[in-house]
Amino acid sequence: MRKTFVPLVSLVIAATIGVLPILTSAQSTEPPKVKIDFEKEIVPIVKASCLGCHNKDNAKHNVMFPDKMTLEDAKKNARLWSRSGREVKNKQMPPRDHATLSDKDRTKFVTWVEATFPRPARPPVPPAPPTTGGGTGGN
């Protein structure tokens, strides 16, 4: 009994350790290294949840996804995808009365967008401190 129990525990530990780097890498400051296949994983999400309202015949709010989405095209369309990532992250899209997006797919979509179009971290700009003195700082 005991003998079979021990390997089982170590297996669980090994599995946990295997998962750890994935979990911790999400919190590191490096851009997450995700392996999400655009055409296999992202395109189906867009087709199922977005395309109906954002296609060339019906481009709500001037947001349009092409019929045929390729990674090449997507990369040239950073604005579209970054905006979409933001909307999806904030749960603005798809519209609430049309919620066809699972949390899993939402996370996947946002993760892909953020990994593909990383933006420099922009901390909120604090109000400018009053400039003291007429220093030599040039203009």
**Smallest separation (angstroms) from ligand HEC to the CB of 91:** 10
- 51 contacts: CB under 8 Å, gap ≥ 6: 65
**Smallest separation (angstroms) from ligand HEC to the CB of 72:** 19
Gap between the Cα atoms of 95 and 100, Å rounded: 9
Q: Which is nearer to ligand HEC, 32 or 82 (CB)?
A: 82
Q: Which is nearer to ligand HEC, 12 or 61 (CB)?
A: 61
Query: How deeply is 64 buried, as exposed, middle or buried, from its count of CB atoms within 10 A (0-12, 13-18, 19+)?
Result: middle
Contact pattern from residue 108 through residue 127 relative to ligand HEC, giving x for each residue in contact according to CB under 6 A and a dash for the rest: --------------------
Binding flag, residue 98, ligand HEC (CB under 6 A): yes
- 126 contacts: CB under 8 Å, gap ≥ 6: none
Q: Which stretch binds ligand HEC (CB under 6 A): 25-33, 34-42, 89-97, 118-126?
A: 89-97
Binding flag, residue 43, ligand HEC (CB under 6 A): no
Gap between the Cα atoms of 118 and 91, Å rounded: 20
CB atoms within 10 A of CB 130: 5
Binding flag, residue 63, ligand HEC (CB under 6 A): yes
Q: Are 104 and 65 in contact (CB under 8 A)?
A: no
Binding site for ligand HEC (CB under 6 A): 49-50, 52-54, 60-61, 63, 83-84, 87-88, 93-95, 98, 101
